[in-house]
Amino acid sequence: MEKRSKILAEAEELKMHGELRRAIEEYKKVLEMDYSNVQVFYNLGELYYMLGDMGDSIRFYEKAISLQPEYSLALYRLGIAYFRATQFTKAIDLFNRIINKEPDLYMAYYWKGLAYYHTGNLRKSIESFRNLNEKNPKGTLGFYQMSMSLKALGKYKEAIKYLEKIESEDPNLVSVQYHLALSYLGIKEIARAIEHFKKVLQLDPEHKGAKDAMDSLITDQEMLYNFGIESPGERLSSDEITTNYHIGQAYKGFAMIEEAFKHIKKNMAKKKA
């Protein structure tokens, strides 16, 4: 007994100092003396998870649960390990089991929503994130993930609503600004999309997605008029930018850049008159 306690203490010390593989060796020595130690199996699952070894992590979590089927924390961590191992169906089944037992464990809804997202079941994903938001209304994690599912479904306006909730609390989140830009592109509000792409590039000048999108929007110098980035003396309204964008893109699609430019100049002349 004293020897086992000493080995456990050594394993804990090694774990605290980040010597994970040596800690694993010590915990396995304990199992040689006591193969029914649930906590040691759980700890080994944690250590292998931290090392990125999902196969062994799952194996030890499952053993802990086989010995103690209602071990809630082990069930929860096993669900995450299943997710990390891309075993999404198993993860969903396990999180449903956890939710049935502990319906207020809101992070179970988060992981279940992510698992549904990765299986392509976007509607179930959204349902899970809605449940997360109901259980944890002050958090923004569910808003972000729900917006990703809504955007993937083409429900850009709803996605914008949730992204803007997050933006109102922190306007400097690059990913939120980027997905706002993409969502505005989705509903053809070009001026708003450009506004958010610009914010992305202010926050992260090397952001490839935003740079590529802006390059795509402004392929030809002549087309700058279409997007209201430059105009001869005055800025176009959002509606005019959008209208000009579609007309210019139609011409551009037929490689008629001169016609596109001619149309915009004519439009501007009428506006000035």
What pLDDT, on the 0 to 100 scale, is given for residue 219? 55
Token readout for 37 is 């130690």
The range of the structural domain enclosing residue 16 comes to 1-85
Instruction: Please report whether residue 176 resides in a domain.
Output: no
Phi-psi region of 139 (alpha: psi -120 to 50; beta: other; left: phi over 0): beta
Residue 230's CB is within 10 A of a number of other CB atoms, namely 10
Average pLDDT on 221-236 reads 46
Q: Between the CA of residue 264 and those of 62, 88, 234, 239, what are the distances in Å?
A: 66, 51, 13, 14
Answer for the pair 236, 244: CB distance below 8 angstroms, yes or no: yes
The percentage of residues in the chain with a pLDDT greater than 70, rounded to a whole number, is 78
pLDDT of residue 167 exceeding 70, the answer is yes
The percentage of residues in the chain with a pLDDT greater than 90, rounded to a whole number, is 59
Q: Give residue-wise pLDDT tens across range 70-123.
A: 899 999 999 999 999 999 999 999 999 999 999 999 999 999 999 999 999 999
What's the full length of the chain, in residues? 273
Q: Give residue-wise pLDDT tens across range 230-271.
A: 444 445 565 665 555 555 555 554 445 555 555 555 555 544
Instruction: Please report whether residue 34 resides in a domain.
Output: yes
Instruction: Please report whether residue 152 resides in a domain.
Output: no
Q: How buried is 174 (Cβ within 10 angstroms: 0-12 exposed, 13-18 middle, 19+ buried)? A: middle
pLDDT of residue 227 exceeding 50, the answer is no
What pLDDT, on the 0 to 100 scale, is given for residue 201? 93
Average pLDDT on 121-127 reads 95
- The domain that holds 55 is classified in CATH as 1.25.40.10
Average pLDDT on 151-165 reads 95
* Nearest CA-CA partner of 99 in 87, 113, 86, 88: 113
pLDDT of residue 65 exceeding 90, the answer is yes
At which of 85, 112, 133 does a domain end?
Answer: 85
Instruction: Please report whether residue 106 resides in a domain.
Output: no
Instruction: Please report whether residue 183 resides in a domain.
Output: no
What pLDDT, on the 0 to 100 scale, is given for residue 233? 42
Q: Between the CA of residue 40 and those of 58, 112, 202, what are the distances in Å?
A: 14, 27, 49
Answer for the pair 177, 154: CB distance below 8 angstroms, yes or no: no
CA 49 – CA 93 distance, rounded (Å): 20
* Nearest CA-CA partner of 144 in 95, 179, 193, 92: 179
* Nearest CA-CA partner of 214 in 237, 230, 233, 195: 195
Q: Give residue-wise pLDDT tens across range 33-52.
A: 888 899 999 999 999 999 99
Helix (H, G, I), strand (E, B) or coil at 254: coil
What pLDDT, on the 0 to 100 scale, is given for residue 260? 56
Higher-pLDDT residue of 222 and 260 is 260
Instruction: Please report whether residue 164 resides in a domain.
Output: no
At which of 52, 85, 118 does a domain end?
Answer: 85
What pLDDT, on the 0 to 100 scale, is given for residue 250? 53
pLDDT of residue 172 exceeding 90, the answer is yes
CA 239 – CA 217 distance, rounded (Å): 17
What pLDDT, on the 0 to 100 scale, is given for residue 77? 96
What pLDDT, on the 0 to 100 scale, is given for residue 254? 47
Instruction: Please report whether residue 18 resides in a domain.
Output: yes
Lowest mean pLDDT: which of 84-88, 131-135, 226-230? 226-230
Q: Between the CA of residue 112 and those of 29, 101, 152, what are the distances in Å?
A: 35, 15, 17
C-alpha atoms less than 13 angstroms from C-alpha of 157 in its C-beta half-sphere: 2
Mean pLDDT, the chain, integer? 84
**Total number of domains in the chain:** 2
CA 158 – CA 150 distance, rounded (Å): 7
Is the pTM higher than 0.85? The answer reads no
What pLDDT, on the 0 to 100 scale, is given for residue 25? 93
What pLDDT, on the 0 to 100 scale, is given for residue 226? 47
At which of 85, 106, 134 does a domain end?
Answer: 85
Instruction: Please report whether residue 211 resides in a domain.
Output: no
CA 154 – CA 148 distance, rounded (Å): 10
The separation between CA 61 and the C-alpha centre of its own chain, rounded to angstroms, equals 26
